[in-house]
Amino acid sequence: MIRLLHIDSSARPGRSGEQAHGSHTRRLTARFVRQWQARRPHDPVVHRDLALSPPAPVTGEWVHAAFTAPAQREPWMRSALAESDALVDELSAADVIVIGVPMYNFGMPATLKAWIDNVVRVGRTFGFDRSRTGEPYWPLLAGQGKRLVLLGSRGDHGYSPGGRLAESNHVEAGVLTPMRYIGIDLADSIAIEYDEFADQRLHASIAAAEAEVDALVQRLTDQVSARREPA
């Protein structure tokens, strides 16, 4: 059994192709999960909509509580970390994390940044020991085979590596860097471009992204099946 964590972060509530002004990333994440469940109907899926339920931003109280040893935490500290605990538990339980991440002003939505700040947490997803020889930090989710799938959308075009606007793209690196820091190294990324042009190039980009999503689901589910075949 493979557990999926499906995260949407677009401020747009609907899906493009179904609702006027709907979200391209919601369209892609829904397609990924639908295709996965068609091939593996018994795999559980947890859906978290960061636009409907935005995580609280990290505060000074949160930091104080997070860096206090669990046995020494006061009730207010446990309360300050309750949402973070729930988000970390979801992430820790997941094998495949599918995130819809539109580009807002060259970066990720603030709700997704708040989610990252809540799950990149000392003692839960990374370790820290200032007395440790060498590197004082280490990932706690490493070696678990977790895979991250980023499904994005961009108003302009040319944001992929080598493209005309690649240096202005702070989306994928902004998500991948902290996820790798906690030990999630396997990652795939697909994005729709040309949204602001709303012409045939957008339609072609949507079709290409959907085809990539379908191929990715087939590849990943085939890998899962291969790993579980008896010798």
pLDDT computed for residue 134 by the predictor: 84
Q: For 160-165, which contacts have Cβ atoms below 8 Å and span 24 or more sequence positions?
A: 160/191
Backbone angles phi, psi at 221, to 5 degrees: -70, -35
**Is 104 annotated among the ligand-binding residues?**
yes
> Is pLDDT at 163 greater than 80 in this prediction?
yes
Q: Which of 123, 77, 119, 75 is nearest to 99 (CA)?
A: 119
Torsion from C-alpha of 108, 110, 115, 116, nearest 10 degrees? 50
Kindly state the average pLDDT of the residues 86-102.
98
pLDDT in tens, 170-185: 999 999 999 999 999 9
CA distance linking residue 106 with residue 179, whole number of Å: 19
Q: CA 104, 209, 228: angle at the middle one, nearest 5?
A: 110
> Could you tell me where the beta strands, DSSP code E, fall in the chain?
4-8, 45-49, 96-102, 126-128, 137-139, 147-153, 186-192
**Is 105 annotated among the ligand-binding residues?**
yes
pLDDT computed for residue 231 by the predictor: 42
pTM: 0.95
Placement of tokens 């191929």 in the chain:
215
**Is 16 annotated among the ligand-binding residues?**
no
pLDDT in tens, 17-74: 999 899 999 999 999 999 999 999 999 999 999 999 999 999 999 999 999 999 999 9
Q: For 224-231, which contacts have Cβ atoms below 8 Å and span 24 or more sequence positions?
A: 224/2, 224/40
- The CATH number given to whatever domain includes residue 172 is 3.40.50.360
Q: Percent of the chain scored above 70 by pLDDT?
A: 98
* Number of domains the chain contains: 1
> Is pLDDT at 230 greater than 70 in this prediction?
no
**Is 106 annotated among the ligand-binding residues?**
yes
Could you tell me which residue, 215 or 227, shows the higher pLDDT? 215
DSSP letter at 43? S
Kindly state the average pLDDT of the residues 70-92.
98
**Is 103 annotated among the ligand-binding residues?**
yes
> Is pLDDT at 164 greater than 50 in this prediction?
yes
Backbone angles phi, psi at 152, to 5 degrees: -115, 175
Determine the structural domain holding residue 49 and report its residue range.
Answer: 4-228
